[in-house]
Structure 1
Amino acid sequence: MSQHPRTSAFAPTPDPLTPDRDVTHQHFRAGETVVVLKGVAGGELWGDSMRVVAPSWHTPTDEDGWRLRDATGGAQSYVTAHPRYLVHLSRRCPDCVIHLRAMEDALLARFAGREELIDCGWYTTTALGHLVHIADIRGGR
């Protein structure tokens, strides 16, 4: 069985849900484990699992955000993200379960039968360490 490389389309796959998701800063707490959903792999949603560390201003949206720590490290262990990008892993809350199921409905059928990791191209990390959804990028930055 061969390993498929990580793939990403030149144009991002539309994300019909996250940009309009209404989640307040208070929905998450320091110490919780969350996931930032980024695409599909082997018929399941995948993303980056992180730990919520501390409140942090999310400059790209001018709103309260969270400082997150990626336990696996990598090129950037800490990022700041807007709450609407996050889904609880450490507890099952109704809002996050509803969002997760809606994302599954929107994406899994579209990529049915594909086993490779598909990055939908929704996020970028700025030079200041802010995770930004393509719907939140201002002025192409």
Structure 2
Amino acid sequence: MSQLPPDPVVALTPDPLTPDRDVTHSHFQAGDTVVVLKGVAGGELWGDAMRVVAPSWHLPTDEDGWRLRDATGGQQSYVTAHPRYLVHLSRRCPDCLIHLRAMEDALLPKYPGDDALIDCGWYTTTAVGQLVHVADVRAGR
């Protein structure tokens, strides 16, 4: 019997890179497996792994986004996200590897050897299933 992961400890931590990341919609394709980085666990970055399904307008940023499917289900199996939130898991992409390494350099020293599941508090999901980074939240949405 598998054990459920512990509830994350929310530790509001500024995201130094994702809000300024310049990645285009065409960087990802339907069928790609991606991760939305959310924090640190056991000395490594962690996040939600999802599959890119189809193009979808991302209302919170008024830009092209992607419809994502979380194969494990959860409270919401499908969300729409902006491409800058995503990092490839299904292939060794130079841009994503650079972003991943930079996030590791910025975050891992803040939580050295911490075995807790740390949620840095960067994302929320709107009532219409849009994944939104705190830097992209606009008044009234």
Residue by residue, what CA displacement relative to the aligned partner does 1:61-96 show, whole Å, maximum 9, x if unpaired? Answer: 000000000000011000000000000000011000
SS in 1 for 2:101: helix
Structure 1 CA distance for aligned equivalents of residues 119 and 140 of structure 2: 20
**Residue 8 (structure 1) aligns with:** 10
Deviation at 1:140, TM superposition (A): 6.1
1:43-54 alignment runs, 5 A limit: 43-54=43-54
Structure 1 residues 78 and 4, CA gap change in structure 2 (3 angstroms): closer
In structure 1, the residue matched to 2:70 is: 70
What is the alpha-carbon distance in structure 2 between the residues aligned to residue 4 and residue 66 of structure 1? 29
Size of the aligned set, in residue pairs, is 137
Q: State yes or no: 1:57 paired with 2:85.
A: no
C-alpha separation between the residues in 1 aligned to 2:93 and 2:34? 12
- Cα distance in 2 for partners of 1:108, 1:132 equals 23
Residue 5 and residue 96 in structure 1: after superposition, are their counterparts in 2 closer, same or farther (change >3 A)? same
Q: CA RMSD in A?
A: 1.2
Task: Supply the distance in 2 between the matched residues of 1:6 and 1:68 (Cα, whole angstroms).
Answer: 22
Q: Aligned AA for 1:110?
A: K
Mapping 1:1-141, distance limit 5 Å:
5-9=7-11, 12-139=12-139, 141=141
Deviation at 1:6, TM superposition (A): 1.8
Q: State the alpha-carbon separation in 1 of the partners of residues 52 and 7 from structure 2.
A: 29
Partner Cα separation in structure 1 for residue 6 and residue 30 of structure 2:
36
Contiguous gaps of at least 5 residues in structure 2: none
Q: Distance in 2 between matches of 1:140 and 1:39?
A: 27
Query: Cα gap change, 1:64/1:122 in structure 2, threshold over 3 Å: closer, same or farther?
Result: same
- What are structure 1's unaligned runs of at least 5 residues? none
Matching residue's letter, 1:18: T
| Per-residue deviation, 1:7 | 0.3
- Once residues 126 and 63 of structure 1 are traced to their aligned partners in structure 2, the CA distance between those partners, rounded to angstroms, is 16
Q: Could you state the TM-score of these two structures normalised by the residue count of structure 1? A: 0.94
Structure 1 residue runs of 4+, over 3 Å off? none
